[in-house]
A and B are shown apart, each in its own frame.
Chain A
Amino acid sequence: MKIIEKDQKVKITLTVNGEKHEVEVEPRRLLVHVLRELGYTSVHIGCDTSNCGACTVIMNGRSVKSCTVLAVEANGAEILTVEGLSKDGKLHPIQEAFWDNHALQCGYCTPGMIMQAYWLLKENPSPSEEEIREGISGNLCRCTGYQNIVKAIKDASLRLNQKEYPRQL
């Protein structure tokens, strides 16, 4: 059994986008803060109350709101952020679809939205509009009215299911 006192720090390992990081954290540190300090600033702090989804990342294969996960809890986890999606300078099909469909205005919600779309399409490669809307119900966007986001995710699903886009999920 390991006991970490409240003023002590503990060493944790995180693998973010395939890169291994060792950091020392207080038990109360949130995963979102640690990720941002490591330079993964696509992970946004929006509401900080697990409502808005701007801090969504993929942790061990499931989408989570990193403002409601303690860093120490994530010790040993594999994490994927938007920074890890593009390969060799080429955007991921979901990113391309967001671009082509004008699925953002201010862009604040976009990294969380894209990570949630990533998870949604992994779970359900051909979602209906209703399934897309339900799938991103934990991500708030105040600019777009969601129309183009929904369109982009539908478009991304088509791109990912086509042969010319090598399936990266």
Chain B
Amino acid sequence: MYPPKIGYVIPDTLEEAMEFLENHEDARPLAGGHSLIPALKLRIIRPSYLVEIRRFKELNYVKKEGNTYKIGALTTHYDIIKANIPLLSETATTIGDPQVRNMGTIGGSISHLDPAADYPAALIAMDAKVVIKSRKSERIEDFKNFAKDMFTPDLNVGELVTEIKLPDFSNYKFSYQKLERRAGDFAIVGVAVLLKLNGDVVEDVRIGLTAVNNVAVRAKGAEEELLGKRLSDELIEKASTRSMESANPTSDLRGSAEYKKKMVKVMTKRAILNALKR
């Protein structure tokens, strides 16, 4: 399988890349290419040009400033795993397979915004912010608003995701649990949990669900059930059951809607129990 005939642009600076993208509405930036190249092969998209941005080292970093992690958009999943960021690194270990994680980038993943991708569960639970730049402007959006709909990030022509910002959750217990058909596949259901305990009372809880809606969502019902209460098996069971309120999956080759919904409960429970082991 070949990609279709396509032009290729090698910009010298990020500025040039953004300028070209601004002037060519149907051009696409190429980062790790692990969503883009398969999509080209399948003729799902037919851009005029690919604009190579992968080599821009200035967008490849993980920094911790005060209480905030700053992650360059071109940081690979491999490098994110190595950075030991609470919850996000664990989530990255479940993406694709090792070769995919060596090439794929976080900026590319969230700009593609597959509804079954893993990162969104963690990003929505962590209240991540997305830095978006064009040649003339810069804006910061909550990931929640950035992810408008499946495959539809809040990006205008000429804009690129340049950075992801996350608060540090190292005083939380956390876990990302992914149900998959086979190694390396997208999630059937993915659940990210962050738990802050005071003794055994839940002081804060954040639960992100991926693959069961058009975009990742917080399981608000489950969070409400847990918040401020003393943890018990019964409470965890109740909260896990309520996590299904936030899931509205569709039937596809990975399972029926009914099955996926039930699995949200199972995976939420697993994620909570796993987080507690930490």
Contact = CB atoms under 8 A, between A and B. Distances in A.
* A is bound by B: yes
Contact of A27 (B33, B50, B97, B102): B50
B99 A5 contact: no
A72 B8 contact: yes
Given A4-B9, A27-B6, A73 B30 contact: yes
A48 B3 contact: no
B255 interface: no
Interface residues of A, number: 36
Interface of A: 1-7, 10, 26-30, 48-51, 53, 56, 62-65, 68-70, 72-73, 116, 119-120, 134-135, 137-139
Interface residues of B, number: 36
Interface of B: 1-12, 16, 20, 30, 33-34, 37-38, 40-41, 48-50, 52, 54, 78, 96-100, 102-103, 183-184
Main secondary structure of the interface of B (DSSP, over half): mixed
A51 B184 contact: yes
B7 A138 contact: no
Nearest to B4: A28
A120 B97 CA distance: 12
B33 A64 contact: no
A53 B41 CA distance: 17
Contact of B100 (A1, A120, A138): A138
B34 A138 contact: no
A63 B34 contact: no
A4 B103 contact: no
